[in-house]
Amino acid sequence: MKVLRGITALAVWISITTLAAQNNPLSGNWEAEYEENNEKSYVTYEFRNENGKLTCYTNYIKDEKGRGEKYESLAIKDILFEGEEGTGKFILVYEGKNYEVRANLTLRDSNTLIISYSVWGYSDSETWKRLK
């Protein structure tokens, strides 16, 4: 009987965790536009629930002509998000090295996410748009 109660409790916990991930306002795919040297590129990000923790990955990069490729890379980890605001560690790649930078996440509306951070004395923010 104890085993049955343990299995039932585990099933309830898994259901609640799955429901929370589905109802998370950040869940799904987002796209950010970047411009460098007068060339635009677009990066697709995906928020995922992994072992009860929200994590964000880069999953696709394309140029302004639509040419692109899959690219799987950790983008934001240790995300704490409640309501419309949160924090996380944004992974920046510079000269082949990964740097973890504290970032603020602000959900402006259900389709617009602002990622802001400060690194090496410079502050920046990115606007991500939800993909349908």
Q: What is the CATH number of the domain that holds 17?
A: 2.40.128
Q: What is the mean pLDDT of residues 80-102?
A: 93
Query: Are 45 and 34 contacting, i.e. CB atoms less than 8 angstroms apart?
Result: no
Q: What is the pLDDT of residue 5?
A: 47
Domain region containing 68:
2-130
Number of domains in the chain: 1
Q: What is the pLDDT of residue 61?
A: 96
Q: What is the mean pLDDT of residues 101-121?
A: 95
Q: Phi and psi for 45 in degrees, rounded to 5?
A: -115, 155
Q: For a pLDDT cut of 90, what percent of the chain falls above it?
A: 72
Strand partners, 110: none
